[in-house]
Amino acid sequence: MTEPTPTRCASVAIIGRPNAGKSTLLNAILGEHLSIVTPKPQTTRKRVLGIHTTDATQLVFVDTPGVLKPRYRMQSAMMGYVSDTLAESDVICVVVDVTTVMEHDTVRDPLMETLIRPLVEKEHLPVILVLNKMDAVKQPQLVLPYMEEARHSGLYTRAIAVSAKSGREVDALVDLLAEFAPEGEFQYDPDSLSTLPQRFFVAELIREAIFHRYRDEIPYATDVQVIEFAEHSDAKWHITADITVERDTQKGILIGKGGEALKQIGIDAREKIEEFLEQPVFLELFVKVRSDWRNDRNQLANLGY
């Protein structure tokens, strides 16, 4: 009798600077719009877990907030999520925007390196450099020297060039990660995509709609909490959410004349939520002011940071 092939399972951290395309990459790997994506930096604020399972391998991805020097207490919490994720990972994907690499003419980034170096030197974790946004590079051969630089950096186990947007080489990345997955039992049901509750994704989709509709300060001063999430007999799910802002002026802008602005956000968000839940929903939004919540320890705790 032949032994069955042992299964493999790995926790894979997706880390990198804001806007590198980490969330887009997670979505491309899973083939689902799980983690919200916007053109603005600092979109992701918490850890977004996504599970990719094949016959023999389960990769448990954790998308994280972009790495930066914190200015607000909220950003300190965000960087805490990055460290926590790194501490629990078997493999690390460092995602960089290849156009930024070319601009700086190096893959080196001191802030990222202070995070990764101890994991490489003490824990001997495999770290994969993912050069993302290759679709934006006209001459792909110009990227080869940076892959070479990564190989000789003493930090990166491998380097791979992908496009999360077009999906190019994303399967190759998944195969590469599977090679580094240790033997072990699957951690989660092979059919599940995430362990986070639906209401988390609903709140995120509302935040995404706000990021898309407003420039500058409003998205950053905003947080969303789902208050009610209930199945109703008329088959429509009733969802109520609070949009938290820092100031009365922001509340005024979000609500708009005669409530028109808030109505538009509701329409945008509802469309995405219905697509995500595959279920018609009735969405009700309220705007609340909690002054300076991004710097207030108690407020942040209340908001789940």
Q: Which is nearer to Mg ion, 31 or 259 (CB)?
A: 31
Binding to ligand GTP in span 220-259, by CB under 6 A: none
CA distances from residue 11 to 53, 184, 232 in whole angstroms, order as listed: 12, 11, 37
Please report whether residue 43 would count as binding Mg ion according to CB under 5 A: yes
Which of 29, 37, 112, 173 binds ligand GTP (CB under 6 A)? It is 37
Q: How far apart are CA 90 and CA 126, in angstroms?
A: 7
**Segment near Mg ion (CB under 5 A), from 16-24, 68-76, 91-99, 149-157?**
16-24
How does DSSP classify residue 221?
T
Please report whether residue 136 would count as binding ligand GTP according to CB under 6 A: yes
Binding to ligand GTP in span 1-20, by CB under 6 A: 16, 18-20
Residues in binding contact with ligand GTP, number by CB under 6 A: 24
Question: Residue written as tokens 């950003």?
Answer: 75
Residue 19 has φ and ψ, to the nearest 5°, of 75, 5
Give the x/- contact pattern for ligand GTP in 155-194, rule: CB under 6 A: --------xxx-----------------------------
Cβ distance 61 to 51 under 8 Å? yes
Please report whether residue 100 would count as binding ligand GTP according to CB under 6 A: no
**Segment near Mg ion (CB under 5 A), from 14-22, 92-100, 270-278, 282-290?**
14-22
Question: Residue written as tokens 């990564």?
Answer: 150
| Least gap, CB of 143 to ligand GTP (angstroms) | 13
| Least gap, CB of 15 to ligand GTP (angstroms) | 9
Which of 66, 86, 262, 299 binds ligand GTP (CB under 6 A)? It is 66
Three-state DSSP class for 108? coil
Exposure class string for 227-256: b at 16+ Cβ within 10 A, else e? eebeeeeeeebebebbbbbbeeebbebbbe
Q: What H or E segment, with its residue span, contains residue 59?
A: strand 57-63
Which of 8, 46, 47, 133 binds ligand GTP (CB under 6 A)? It is 133
> Nearest residue by C-beta to ligand GTP?
66
Three-state DSSP class for 189? coil
Q: Which of 244, 230, 243 is nearest to 282 (CA)?
A: 230
| Least gap, CB of 213 to ligand GTP (angstroms) | 15
Residue 273: strand pairing partners: none
**Segment near ligand GTP (CB under 6 A), from 32-40, 100-108, 175-183, 262-270?**
32-40
Q: Which of 217, 216, 209 is nearest to 241 (CA)?
A: 209
User: In the structure encoding, which two tokens stand for residue 225, read together?
Assistant: 């909490």
The site for Mg ion (CB under 5 A) is made up of 22-23, 43-44
